[in-house]
């Protein structure tokens, strides 16, 4: 076995090991979305079908989504064990980016040492580790697939590789709308090649055009109903404006650089400048195109901020690795050749300080914001002490938790598609959790036919909730409080007198 193969395997195991170590510390998950997938996985195991008609979300609604990720996890949950499938498989899938990035950089640079260095950097992009550790998210499968498509596009020489590319494209197109990053990227790639007057093989251009049209067709097939329901506003996913603005206001430029990693960010940006204006390299143009595509989607606010930073981080890491190889070759021609090994070690140490440590620190810090056991305790209490047709008034962050754990209807959750009054519902939630007027609270809670209010630690933090509206009068009874979550029961009704 080659030395490089052993080192690559060790890097992969290191990334996977850290992820599993962090994931198995809590018994719960780190995101609200995880509980949506958890419920879907259980439904698939029981019936073979997901919840396309969901009687609990928003009090009852239709859902349109791709359940492929849920089927993958459900398969392993049924054949091996549920805990293994939900904790290990997503981290295993996410860790595959190490192997794929190694293959991309090796193809571009033809240097295994540079590829190992880039794979190590790619495995520890802070925002990626933070967003995909201890969660159930389709990001853990769509990210390696998009990078795999990038790798296969660099090798369309044989019929076999073309078939492999097309098979991967078809699967990816039906998993997540994030495949649009790939479609936009290869479109920009064609424009750059045209501007640079670089000849393109007929096979490659045909596959690229086919890929663009197939991706657009697949998105229309899967999400046709959503397109018809929301029209052009679908690009913002029907997210209430109050939440949409928060997506891009919670992070500064410096924080964005920190989330990507200082070394990959600055040297990746420099590599873009170098390959666009100094050197002409076709392979690097492809990676630059994906960087531009991600940046454009971020600028137009068409992609969630941390998801965009995650993909941008991967592409900048690949470009940084390409630059790094040329930098080492340059050193050989200078008086610093004797210090080449020392400079390489310094880069590794810098990478550990600015990428590996932030990745571990951010992810472990994120574990503190897991759903706590006491929140699960409160929701289990609600399950046992409320009617099965009860509607629970809670913040969007707790919506899927209420569905998955308490098995009760929510007023709102994080999926706003195909919901006509999403904005109004969010305004009612915001009004109730920020008002000091018990009459306003009673009115909005009764409006949504809710008997119970679930007040979690996140709700109290996000809305800076003053629960005086629930305690100053006897219209709300505190029926549960374990120090982390509170549950109130509405016992009053608003009397409306009609004028005669």
Confidence of residue 464 (pLDDT cuts 50, 70, 90): confident
CA distance 187 to 292: 11
**Angle of helix 112-123 relative to helix 97-109, nearest 10 degrees?**
150
Question: How many Cα atoms are found within 13 Å in the side-chain-facing hemisphere of 35?
Answer: 26
Sequence-distant (6+) residues with CB within 8 A of 479 are: 385, 487, 488, 489
Q: 139-169: per-residue pLDDT in tens?
A: 999 999 999 999 999 998 878 889 999 999 9
Q: Tell if the pTM clears 0.85, that is, is over it.
A: yes
Mean pLDDT of 317-346: 87
Confidence of residue 1 (pLDDT cuts 50, 70, 90): low
Q: 171-180: per-residue pLDDT in tens?
A: 999 999 999 9
Q: 97-129: per-residue pLDDT in tens?
A: 999 999 999 999 999 999 999 999 999 999 999
Q: Note the residue count of the chain.
A: 500
Look over the chain and give the mean of its residue pLDDT values, rounded to a whole number.
90
pLDDT of residue 465: 75
Confidence of residue 360 (pLDDT cuts 50, 70, 90): very high
Sequence-distant (6+) residues with CB within 8 A of 423 are: 240, 241
Query: 298 is written with which tokens?
Result: 């971020």
3-state secondary structure 234-296: HHHCCCCHHHHHHHCCCCCHHHHHHHHCHHHHHHHHHHHHHHHHCCCCHHHHHHHHHHHHHHH
pLDDT of residue 28: 87
CA distance 188 to 294: 11
Mean pLDDT of 477-484: 90
pLDDT of residue 270: 95
Question: How many Cα atoms are found within 13 Å in the side-chain-facing hemisphere of 338?
Answer: 1
Q: 211-238: per-residue pLDDT in tens?
A: 999 999 999 999 999 989 988 878 788 8
pLDDT of residue 439: 84
Instruction: Tell me: pLDDT of 494 over 80.
Output: no
pLDDT of residue 493: 77
Give me the long-range contacts of 82-89 (CB less than 8 A, separation at least 24): 85/41, 86/38, 86/41, 86/136, 87/20, 87/23, 87/24, 87/134, 88/20
> Which helix (H) or strand (E) is 312 found in, with range?
helix 305-332
54: left (phi over 0), alpha (psi -120 to 50) or beta: beta
pLDDT of residue 474: 78
List the one residue out of 124, 107, 123 whose CA is nearest residue 115: 107
Q: 17-74: per-residue pLDDT in tens?
A: 999 999 998 888 988 889 999 999 999 999 999 999 999 999 899 999 999 999 999 9
Q: 423-455: per-residue pLDDT in tens?
A: 999 999 998 888 888 788 888 999 999 999 999
CA distance 291 to 311: 8
Mean pLDDT of 123-138: 94
CA distance 118 to 127: 16
CA distance 185 to 179: 10
């Amino acid at each position: 076995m080659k030395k490089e193969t052993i080192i690559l395997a060790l890097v992969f195991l290191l990334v996977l090991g850290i992820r599993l170590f962090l994931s198995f510390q809590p018994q719960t998950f780190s995101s609200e979305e995880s509980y949506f997938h958890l419920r879907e996985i259980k439904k698939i195991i029981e019936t073979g079908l997901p919840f396309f008609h969901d009687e609990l979300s928003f009090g009852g609604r239709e859902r349109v989504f791709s359940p492929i990720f849920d089927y993958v996890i459900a398969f392993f949950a049924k054949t091996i064990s549920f805990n293994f499938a939900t904790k290990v498989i997503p981290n295993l899938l996410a860790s595959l980016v190490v192997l794929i990035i190694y293959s991309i950089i090796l193809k571009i640079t033809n240097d295994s040492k540079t590829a190992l260095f880039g794979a190590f950097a790619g495995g520890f992009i802070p925002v990626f580790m933070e967003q995909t550790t201890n969660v159930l998210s389709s990001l853990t499968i769509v990210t390696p697939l998009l990078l795999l498509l990038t790798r296969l596009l660099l090798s369309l020489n044989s019929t076999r590789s073309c078939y492999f590319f097309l098979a991967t494209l078809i699967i990816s197109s039906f998993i997540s709308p994030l495949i649009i990053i790939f479609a936009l990227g290869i479109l920009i790639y064609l424009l750059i090649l045209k501007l640079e007057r670089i000849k393109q093989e007929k096979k490659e251009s045909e596959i690229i055009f086919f890929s663009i049209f197939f991706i657009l067709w697949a998105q229309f097939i899967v999400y046709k109903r959503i397109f018809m329901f929301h029209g052009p506003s679908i690009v913002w996913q029907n997210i209430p404006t109050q939440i949409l603005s928060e997506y891009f206001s919670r992070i500064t430029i410096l924080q964005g650089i920190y989330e990507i990693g200082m070394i990959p960010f600055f040297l990746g940006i420099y590599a873009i400048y170098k390959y666009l204006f100094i050197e002409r390299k076709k392979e690097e143009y492809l990676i630059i195109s994906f960087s531009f595509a991600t940046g454009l989607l971020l600028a137009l606010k068409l992609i969630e901020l941390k998801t965009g930073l995650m993909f941008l981080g991967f592409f900048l890491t690949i470009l940084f690795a390409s630059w790094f190889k040329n930098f080492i070759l340059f050193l050989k021609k200078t008086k610093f050749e004797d210090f080449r090994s020392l400079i390489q070690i310094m880069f590794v140490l810098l990478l550990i300080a600015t990428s590996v440590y932030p990745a571990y620190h951010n992810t472990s810090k994120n574990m503190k914001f897991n759903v706590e056991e006491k929140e699960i305790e409160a929701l289990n209490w609600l399950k046992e002490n409320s009617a099965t047709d009860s509607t629970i008034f809670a913040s969007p962050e707790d919506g899927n938790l209420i569905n998955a754990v308490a098995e009760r209807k929510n007023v709102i959750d994080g999926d706003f598609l195909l919901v006509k009054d999403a904005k109004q519902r969010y305004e009612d939630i915001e009004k109730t959790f920020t008002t000091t007027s018990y009459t306003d609270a009673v009115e909005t809670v009764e409006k949504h036919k809710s008997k119970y209010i679930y007040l979690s630690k996140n709700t109290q933090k996000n809305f800076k909730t003053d629960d005086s509206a629930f305690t100053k009068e006897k219209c709300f009874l505190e029926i549960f409080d374990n120090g982390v979550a509170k549950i109130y029961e509405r016992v009053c009704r608003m009397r409306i007198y009609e004028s005669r």
